Chains A and B, each alone.
Chain A
Amino acid sequence: MSRFAIETVGLNHHFGPQAVVKNLSLQVPRGSIYGFLGPNGAGKTTTIKILLNLLQSPADTVFIFGQELNHNRIACLEKMGSLVEQPAIYAHLSGKENLINRCILLGINKSKADEMLALVGLTEAATKKTGKYSLGMKQRLGIALALIADPELLLLDEPTNGLDPNGIIEIRNLMVELTSKHGKTILVSSHLLAEIERTATHVGIINKGEMLFQGTINELQDLSKPSIKIEVDDQAAAANILSSNGAEIINEKEGNIHITYTGKADMGKLNTLLVQNGVTVYSISTDRKDLENLFLDITSKN
């Protein structure tokens, strides 16, 4: 059995002349919450549609739990629940009827419908026509529809779109619970890092169809090189001493000097040097670039 819930091998996709997915090698480990990040138009939805076989892909490029997608379409789809872009809901039916319709299609017990309504907090709106639902309510129903078959793998395309802060937190907790308690795997796309930073175990960052980073959330954090901020009375003298002793100065202004962090011992040595040479050191602190900026950096390079 493959160690990956989703694996793509050199996946490409074109819309006419436009290459939307370029040589994408997605690797979503089992049991992970994989944050699929990228700005609008990056190709996230397109990739998810390929994973669902809604868009054609060449043979031997997409594997779901180790099974080749094109040859095992139904077996693969049985393992996946999905919410793609705006939730697809029959507007003339009520929330409950939408769920019952899905129960019919999946051959599952209709009592599941009430259970799912309760799970996403729509019990009171169960009999209301979904055409009259707010965007957030539709999104909740979309999530209920994705979950109703209790799939091993969930593909959620920007699931928190239109949700209120409470709803966002609920979805986050739900995702954590599904992976930690029920061993599910979740691929969740977003254009905001902040949104998945706290829940994702793995991250893939895509821009213009290309994967720019893929790894664990810790690996992503390691990428943001920590730096040291030193606040001194005499900036010029301090900069001089630091650079002549091998420190890498990132920038300096208004009495603050940023240098690359190279280890505790080095930092202590530099501090002593500054003091011995008559520079007053007001403060020394580590300065970590936050992930949001890192994300912006990565996606704006191309």
Chain B
Amino acid sequence: MSFINYASREINCKIVYYGPGLCGKTTNLQYIYNKTAQDAKGKMISLATETERTLFFDFLPLALGEIRGFKTRFHLYTVPGQVFYDASRKLILKGVDGVVFVADSQEERLDANIESMENLKDNLEEQGFQLEKLPFIIQYNKRDLPNCTPIEELRKLLNPNGVPDLEACAATGEGTFETLKAVAKQVLIDLKKGS
């Protein structure tokens, strides 16, 4: 959950990128890291295997600027998408303020997306969260590839509740900042409502 510090006039929020293995979660963070000014970011930490699969998490701290005299900081995390890292995924979700689900648009990953979405719901519920009540954005990634499932179908399967969603190509950065902005906005609106 968010951390409001009246002493240092800071507000910290935690955003988690979720989704099946190789869908592009780490790539999202890397792009944001590369395109963010030095003074607005901290070090990006990636706890990964030798083949660059996320093992525990990626972490990227961002300082976006001030709202009403409070520095707003967002801590971005990715989970490891591979099915057998479920225990780690649960840990990363602790204290989450907003979730981005990164879907892999490739046809052959359709089942993996659905399974990961179910897994997200289960893991949140286990901690007493309801996905419907959290700031939540869906990103349909890898739209540049030729074998993509049509957006309408992805929407029907992954986004029955009609949360904000958008297309992306994290490899070139298309849609990555839009995604971050969309989730950050929801998190701040949530704060405004009073937590």
B is a partner of A: no
Chain A residues within 8 Å of B, Cβ to Cβ: none
Chain B residues within 8 Å of A, Cβ to Cβ: none
